[in-house]
Amino acid sequence: MDSMGFDLRQTANWEALVQEVLTNSIIEGEQLPDPEVRSSLARQLGIDYAGVAVKDRRVDGTVAIMLDATKKWQEPLDKARMFRWQAALFPEGRNYAGPIITNSWRNDADGPMKVTSGAFGKEKVHFEAPAATLLEAEMHAFLDWVNEEQGLDLLVKAGVAHLWFITIHPFEDGNGRVARTLSDYLMAKSDGSDMRFYSLSSAIQDRKAEYYEQLEKTQQGNMDITKWLFWFLDVVNDAFLQASKTMEKVLFRAKFWQQYNTYAFNERQVKMLNKLMDGIDGKLNSSKWAKMTKCSTDTALRDITQLLLAGALLKEEGGGRSTSYVLTSMV
């Protein structure tokens, strides 16, 4: 990454953070809108990007805590910062089930906190968290440990902190997302950089069943966390390997626009070419082009025809209403 210019590094950082924000929520069964996440991150990173308006308040909040963790890794963690992270995930002060406690530790008013996974109504109970009366002392000890220098490798420390925080489960909701953000904070400290080129949550999402299995086995075991740490570091390695795909995507985008920098593409064409590079749902055809750019079908066909003539798009096999198009280098 050091051999790439600042703009390419910034774009790679953006792509990695997009994946981290999206998959950190997906693990918990929440799907944030991809276009809004991209727009929010671009705006907060100062990247020139013609994105969409952010309507979901959770997006800006989730993006903000990820940037706080990865860009302010030199600042210590304290209770107030933990409260801000959790509250940002729930800007309305509620989750899918109703109002929740934010800006405070949980109070167990509805009974002991049981740590679960799975869809609403089909949850699997993994273990029971410590009583709410213990949280102030437990989190004080935890945060002191996070902020202290132990001479421990910071990737190992990220794994220990992840498990320890999940086990305490100090919030009424959002514990998993905050735990993964905490790991991101310590990994940024390990990198010694405010730029992130890999996504830990994406690698965890690929092994989601194992993730919950490893947590459950460790929390119900004999306090030996060695197997958990081996698993966690293996996932970190997966994240590093997946980062090469992000680099390929960034380099492809740079090469593409360098190749076509002399072409006078209109605003709709630039927008759609960038969306194709980001990835769209399903096949691209003239009707989808018209809908996404808010133009007529005839205008969409003219836009597409110009790109076909320029060599930027290729027509896939099939005809008539089934005609679809792809980027030339993505066939």
pLDDT digits (tens, 9 = 90+) for 83-107: 999 999 999 988 887 899 999 999 9
Using CA atoms, how far apart are residues 157 and 186, in angstroms rounded to an integer? 7
Structure tokens at 34: 């991809």
Tokens of residue 262, six digits: 């002399």
Contact assessment for residue 100 and residue 94, using Cβ atoms and an 8 Å cutoff: yes
Instruction: Please name the residue that has the structure tokens 């935890």.
Output: 142
Residue 267: Cβ-neighbour burial (10 angstroms; 0-12, 13-18, 19+): exposed
Q: Which superfamily, per CATH, for 6-247? A: Fido-like domain (1.10.3290.10)
Q: Could you count the other beta carbons within 10 Å of the beta carbon of residue 50?
A: 10
- Which pLDDT does position 8 carry in this prediction? 81
Rg (CA), the chain: 22
- Residue 321: which pLDDT band, with cuts at 50, 70 and 90? low
Tens of pLDDT, residue by residue over 200-256, are 999 999 999 999 999 988 988 788 999 999 999 999 999 999 888 777 877 888 788
- Residue 31 reports pLDDT greater than 80: yes
As a whole number, mean pLDDT of residues 56-66 equals: 94
Q: Does domain 263-330 have CATH number 1.10.10.10?
A: yes
The domain ranges of the chain are 6-247, 263-330
Of all residues in the chain, the percent with pLDDT exceeding 90 is 62
Q: What is the pTM for the complete model shown?
A: 0.79
Beta strands in the chain, from DSSP E residues, in sequence order:
94-95, 98-99, 114-117, 124-128, 313-315, 325-327
- C-alpha angle with apex 90: 182 to 173, nearest 5 degrees? 60
Using DSSP's 3-state secondary structure scheme, residue 325 falls into strand
Is the confidence at residue 323, as pLDDT, over 90? no
Helices (H) then strands (E): counts for the chain: 13, 6
List residues bridging with 114 in a β-sheet.
128
Q: What is the pLDDT of residues 134-152, one digit of tens each?
A: 999 999 999 999 999 999 9
Dist. CA 214–CA 229, nearest whole Å: 10
| Long-range Cβ contacts of 97-100 (<8 Å, 24+ apart) | 100/172, 100/173
pLDDT for 319 equals 58
Residue 119: pLDDT band with limits 50, 70, 90: low
pLDDT above 60 (res 330): no
Q: Angle 6-26/226-259 helices, nearest 10 degrees?
A: 130
